[in-house]
Amino acid sequence: MLYSYKPDDGRNARQATFWLGELFLFFGCTSLNGSLGSFESLRGAWFESFPMVPILGATLSGAFLIAAFVFVAGSLIWMSFLGREKIAEHLIEVEGEMKKVTWPSFKEASNASVVVVATVLIIMAFLALSDLALGKFFQRVLWGGA
C-alpha cells in the first residue's frame, strides 16, 4: 500500500498526483544529471568494471549518482507529503467532486467551440476596422493629409 490514510479512497486522484510528481522529479533529475555533467570531476565513469547502467544506458558517473540520489530522496519526500492526512483528504475530495461533474457530449462541445470561434472572428473584425478608422482619422487630424 502506498498510502496508510484511507488507502482505498481517492485512489485515482492520489495515483495521478503521485505519478505526475514523479514525472516532474524525473525530468528535474535528468536535467540535473546533464548540468552536473559539465564538471570534469563528475563526468567520467566511477567504476571501470561497471561503466553503464543497463536499463537506462547512462554512464555510471558522479553526476548520475547524485541525480539518482536526489530522485530517490525526492520520491520518498513526495510519498510522505502525499500521505499526510490533510493532503490525502484534499485529493479524496477532488476525486469525489470530479465524479459529480457533468461532462458535455461531443455535439455540445463542438457547438460551443463554433460559437467561441465565431465570436472571436467578429471581435477581431470589429477591432481591425476600428483600428483602421481611428488610424485614418488621426492621420488626417495630426498631419492634415491622407
* Residues 91 and 14 sit within 8 Å (Cβ to Cβ): yes
Q: How far apart are alpha carbons 131 and 139 in whole angstroms? A: 12
pLDDT score for 70: 96
pTM, full prediction: 0.64
Checking if the pLDDT of 82 tops 80, the result is yes
Task: Check residue 1 and give its pLDDT.
Answer: 45
Per-residue pLDDT at 89 exceeds 70? yes
pLDDT of residue 60: 75
Task: Answer yes or no: is pLDDT of 55 > 90.
Answer: no
Q: State how far the Cα of 121 lies from the Cα of 124, in Å rounded to an integer.
A: 5
**Residue range 70-99: average pLDDT?**
91
- Rounded to whole angstroms, how far apart are CA atoms 112 and 28? 38
Q: Is the pLDDT of residue 113 over 90?
A: yes
Instruction: Please enumerate in sequence order all residues whose Cβ is within 8 A of that of 3, keeping only pairs 6 or more positions apart, or say none.
Output: 14, 82, 83, 88
